[in-house]
Amino acid sequence: GGFLDRLKFEKGRLRAPRRVVRAVNGVSFKVKEGEVLALVGESGCGKSTVAKTIARIHNPTGGSVRIQGEEIQDLTPRQLLPVRSKMQMIFQDPYASLNPRQKVRDIVAEPLAEQTGSWSQAHEKTEALLARVGLSAEQGGRYPHQFSGGQRQRIGIARALSVNPKLIIADEPVSALDVSIQAQILNLMMDLRDEFGLAYLFISHDLSVVHHIADRVAVMYLGSIVETAPRDRIFAKPRHPYTRALLSAAPSLDPAKKPKQLELSGEVPSALNLPSGCCFHTRCPFAWERCAAERPVLQDTGGGQEVACHLLDEPQREIA
């Protein structure tokens, strides 16, 4: 079995057919040009696996990853170089993701130098990139440990921007930062989106952050997308029981706008031992026999919303 099975990323479309694989199965969503798609779910649900597989930091052992029509899963590191100019990644921990022995100007120039083979050409752009994220040319001569967490995330953003990507995969980019700094970094990311026509795949467990920045939201549970919808729709009308539980339990959301409390039973099952059928059936208050026997697929429910739940076929089972 593959780590990821037939994951596709085509013209901003990522899809995987339903087949049980180890960490991620049944992932299907689009990232349109200039769009912020938030991928949400509890830790361990496979969000980072999806991110790293698209970015080819993880290599899927099977299946396919496509970006703008090009298969990238079998490309060698050298063949991947031009793909890296289309998508870049920003990481959660700006401490661990920057080389401590590299000066900031080299950190920022590196992806472009890899593309062009010319450090001097790449360095010509560095000052403008640093300025764009709010850092001085003089700061480019320093090392990562001389910066705060927020500044380091700015460095990571400048580095990602250096190759003019169309897509930035941001894995929990602000969750390690103080709340006041979070807003600054999010606002910077949104400004850059408008300026450069960037799309973001924004991975987060923080629903108030997601509400702030996302155009669309995809909810993951145990390696599957269970619901996807435009931001306002999913917050106002979540359909999947897991989405409803997640929203109703979010401490940071306005209580008046939360769905009715939905109590979940049991623990999150191990990703190595996925439940049969709907992988949420061990915790879902509405589960019945069919849920353990048959895996629900994402169905279009209108308004750009897709939900993977058998309740769509048998809504009378839902207790008001």
The residues binding Mg ion (CB under 5 A) are 48
Least Å from the CB of residue 295 to ligand SF4: 8
Residue 156 or 296: the one with the smaller Cβ distance to ligand SF4 is 296
Least Å from the CB of residue 45 to ligand SF4: 15
Q: For binding to ligand SF4 (CB under 6 A), which residues are involved? A: 240-241, 278, 280-281, 284, 286-287, 291, 296, 309-311
The residues pairing with 13 across neighbouring beta strands, listed in sequence order, are: 10, 30
Report residue 92 as tokens: 């959660």
Residue 48 near which of ligand SF4, Mg ion, none (CB within 5-8 Å, type-dependent): Mg ion
Q: What are the CA-CA distances from residue 121 to residues 37, 162, 211 (Å)?
A: 33, 11, 39
Residue 25 or 204: the one with the smaller Cβ distance to Mg ion is 204
Beta strand pairing call for 36-40 and 66-67: unpaired
Residue 280 near which of ligand SF4, Mg ion, none (CB within 5-8 Å, type-dependent): ligand SF4
Residue 24 near which of Mg ion, ligand SF4, none (CB within 5-8 Å, type-dependent): none
Query: 270: left (phi > 0), else alpha (psi -120 to 50), else beta?
Result: beta
Find the largest Cα–Cα distance for the chain. Answer: 67
Residue 52 or 310: the one with the smaller Cβ distance to ligand SF4 is 310
Least Å from the CB of residue 24 to ligand SF4: 18
Least Å from the CB of residue 314 to ligand SF4: 9
Residue 91 near which of ligand SF4, Mg ion, none (CB within 5-8 Å, type-dependent): none
The set of residues, in sequence order, having a beta carbon less than 8 Å from that of 196 and lying 6+ positions away, is: 161, 164
First to last CA, the chain: 41
Measured in residues, the chain has a length of: 320
Report residue 12 as tokens: 């901003």
